[in-house]
């Protein structure tokens, strides 16, 4: 997964879709961004990029009520998981994804995989296909962006993990002392999609949402089973314009398919045919 996705729903839609009990999107959320987020956090974003605050669904007691019953919440978390033991939150930029194959063993992700699982709602995600024949101006393989989403039109629910990091220089009672971050699990790309990229995010079907969000389900084998793909054929994809390459670009137009005539050395994910060569 190359690190971009479209999160086009607003909080009200997500609260209804995921049967959220607590809307925490209005609570203070620490960010690692240097400049103000654009579009603002919590609004539709068709070019979600690492370090941005993104809507995430999780189940835990409400903030400040650790002894209370866990409730399903919608929160704004920073994309790029920062382990609790990290010395610098910038490490999160290297942890926007976690490989499903090793997440339950790696120190950065193990504890979160067992008890701090989340769902990252999306419209779909972007991948960049390296052309086997076409080259760019620098002589490197030309990269064609694709958009991928569910064929049935349902919401895309990425399997995610989240973690808390405390800034020791700030009073722990100050919300700014805590950075809550997340990562998206990835797995091997299924046939067809692997002609675009060799990895893809883990996408959960609706019948697995509740179990994935259950913080008491801590058996490693059960967690692995929940994250396994139910089979190929759930997704549809099409090439989009290169405007998505720049994070400053945004809006629904990024999802529009490009004309076949504009393609240059692009491999058709369905047939394997090279187009525009």
Q: Which residues are catalytic?
A: 2, 127
For 178, the enclosing helix (H) or strand (E) is strand 178-188
Running DSSP on this structure, what letter comes out for residue 155? P
**What is the bridge-based pairing of β-strands 45-48 and 124-135?**
unpaired
Look up residue 208 and give its two tokens. 């697995």
Q: Could you tell me where the beta strands, DSSP code E, fall in 63-140?
A: 71-79, 97-99, 117-122, 124-135
Distance, in Å, from the CA atom of 215 to the CA atom of 203, rounded to the nearest integer, reads 19
- Preceding peptide of 31 cis, ω within 30°: no
Instruction: Retrieve residue 134's tokens.
Output: 């076409």
């Amino acid at each position: 997964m190359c690190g971009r996705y479209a999160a086009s729903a607003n909080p009200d839609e997500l609260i209804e879709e995921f049967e959220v009990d607590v809307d925490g999107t209005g609570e203070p959320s620490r960010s690692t961004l240097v400049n103000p987020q654009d579009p603002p956090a919590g609004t539709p974003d068709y070019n979600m990029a690492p370090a941005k605050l993104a809507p995430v669904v999780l189940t835990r007691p409400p903030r400040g009520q650790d002894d209370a019953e866990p409730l399903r919440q919608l929160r704004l978390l920073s994309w790029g998981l920062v382990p609790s033991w990290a010395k610098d939150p910038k490490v999160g930029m290297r942890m926007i994804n976690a490989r499903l194959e090793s997440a339950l063993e790696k120190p950065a992700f193990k504890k979160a995989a067992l008890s701090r699982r989340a769902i990252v709602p999306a419209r779909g995600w972007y991948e960049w296909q390296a052309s086997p024949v076409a080259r760019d101006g620098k002589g490197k393989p030309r990269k064609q962006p694709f958009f991928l989403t569910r064929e049935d039109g349902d919401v895309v629910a990425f399997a995610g993990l989240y973690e808390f990091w405390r800034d020791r220089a700030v009073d722990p009672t100050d919300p700014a002392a805590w950075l809550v971050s997340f990562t998206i699990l990835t797995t091997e790309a299924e046939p067809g999609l692997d002609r675009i990229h060799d990895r893809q995010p883990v996408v959960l079907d609706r019948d697995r949402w509740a179990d994935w969000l259950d913080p008491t389900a801590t058996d490693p084998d059960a967690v692995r089973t929940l994250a396994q793909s139910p089979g190929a054929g759930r997704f549809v994809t099409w090439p989009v314009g290169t405007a998505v390459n720049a994070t400053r670009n945004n809006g629904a137009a990024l999802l529009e398919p490009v004309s076949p005539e504009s393609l240059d050395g692009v491999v058709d994910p369905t047939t394997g045919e090279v187009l525009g060569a």
